[in-house]
Chain A
Amino acid sequence: MGTTITKEQNSYAANAAAQNLSARFSDAGITVEIIAHNAGKRFEFVRIICSPEQWRAVAKHLKNELGVNHCAMVTGTHYPEGGDRGWEVAYHMHRWPITDVEAHTMIVHSGESLEGDDIPMEFEIFINLPPGDSPAVPSVQDLWVGADWNEKETWDLVGIDFEGHENMHRVLNPHDSPVGFHPLQRQHKIRYHDFNEMYDDPQGFGRKPVDEGRVK
């Protein structure tokens, strides 16, 4: 009578969700994988890689069919080396099935008795964007509450435009930051960046002794 789910339930749910997604979207070129964590309980989660055009459809399917109700994190990464992946937007979502617990009732749901779509599941969605100066992704602000401020933060720090996001404003940087200043892009360096030797060799093993070369 525990409050956690078993590994069998977890892999069953992961497989079910992956099959559902593949059946629906496989012709649109979306990759669905099941990855297992390497630490902790080693649970599995579903990783979806899609393109920005398909993102709204996938998001609606996740919310309506698979019951994903928690958008936990939205981040972005900038890869300046180019190739085919210049920017990457990552969404972390969860499906928490138990949402109707009354406060202060201390009702403990048994984890093992959940089945089917009621098993909590973790979803990770990567959206790869081509290199360029204006990465843009459709916003999912109207689908999940958790996406609202996270998208603001991602735009503020990384510079990814979320199309259709209402009331976008700077949330962590000062409001009078220069337009186009998005600190987490790789061309911005941190202060004292030129202390390279300190950071490439923190223990100082590459240093030569001060009196090297002197005749002793």
Chain B
Amino acid sequence: MSDTGENYTTFNSRTLVEIVGDVTDEALKATKIKQLLSVLAGRFFNWAGRKSLFTLHLGIKCCAIEMAASATPRFDGDRFGVLFRSSPRQSDVLLVNGPISKKFADPIVRLWEQMPEPKYCIAMGECAISGGPYYQSYNILEGVDTVIPVDVYIPGCPPRPEALIDGFGKLREKIIRIGGAPSTGRDGDKPIIVGDD
């Protein structure tokens, strides 16, 4: 309560907030309202998160042209909430379009780490899945999942924009399942492969 040498207690707003918080927490837990609220809030944030997936504006190679084409009037991706953001700090989804070279492995890990949770990674195209036609190259990593945990794989070379939008749909289904689980714990979670059903 009071340090030795002081003869008055410091009762600032921070202590007040903590005390009120603890009391409310206990009360809510007792009446199970907290459980209800967390379920509702979880469901709400889950719905909000999966309905508006902000994708990082990263275009590596040919699949980037299909990514751009999926934002065009014919295969509109914006009606699904897929918007392209320039900064990794403001995006949810890292859409890896092309082959990852050794030079780019470091920047892409940095981009991934700069993205705030909850974040998802989609490997689009053969080059991001397994190195693609360049799997024998001395400079290309065999798939982006060697450096980043991937949630959805979209095969194709390049995948059609409809396949990309389907990939986003599968990501939405996955978000329903795993919600805002941190991405580091998702290694064991089975990734979804578009077209696998």
Binding site for B on A (CB under 8 A): 172-175, 183, 188, 190-193
Contacts and interface: CB of A to CB of B under 8 A. Distances in A.
Contacts of B135: 191-192
Given A191-B136, A191-B137, A191-B138, 17 more contacts: A172-B139, A173-B103, A173-B139, A174-B101, A174-B102, A174-B103, A174-B139, A183-B138, A183-B139, A188-B138, A190-B136, A190-B137, A190-B138, A191-B135, A192-B135, A192-B136, A193-B136
Interface of A is mostly: loop
Contacts of B102: 174
Contacts of A193: 136
A191 B135 CA distance: 8
Range for the number of chain B residues in contact with chain A: under 10
Contacts of B139: 172-174, 183
B146 to A, nearest CB: 13
List the 10 shortest-distance A-B pairs measured between CB atoms, nearest first.
A190-B136, A174-B103, A191-B136, A183-B138, A174-B102, A192-B136, A190-B138, A173-B139, A190-B137, A188-B138
Nearest to A175: B103
A20 to B, nearest CB: 43
B104 to A, nearest CB: 9
Contacts of B137: 190-191
Contacts of B136: 190-193
Nearest to B102: A174
B160 to A, nearest CB: 27
A183 B137 CA distance: 10
A30 to B, nearest CB: 36
A18 B136 CA distance: 43
B60 to A, nearest CB: 15
Contacts of A188: 138
Interface string B131-163: 000011111000000000000000000000000
14 contacts: A173-B103, A173-B139, A174-B101, A174-B102, A174-B103, A175-B103, A183-B138, A183-B139, A190-B137, A191-B137, A191-B138, A192-B135, A192-B136, A193-B136
A192 B138 CA distance: 10
Interface string B91-104: 00000000001110
A81 to B, nearest CB: 22
Nearest to A184: B138
Q: Which of the listed residues B102, B135, B138 has the most CB atoms from chain A within 10 Å of its own CB?
A: B138
A139 to B, nearest CB: 25
Q: Which of the listed residues B101, B103, B135, B137 has the most CB atoms from chain A within 10 Å of its own CB?
A: B103
A30 B101 CA distance: 42
A18 B138 CA distance: 41
Contacts of B138: 183, 188, 190-191
A173 B138 CA distance: 10
A191 B133 CA distance: 12
A193 B136 CA distance: 8
Interface string B112-128: 00000000000000000
Contacts of A175: 103
A152 to B, nearest CB: 15
B41 to A, nearest CB: 45
Contacts of A191: 135-138
A192 B101 CA distance: 17
Contacts of B103: 173-175
A172 B138 CA distance: 12
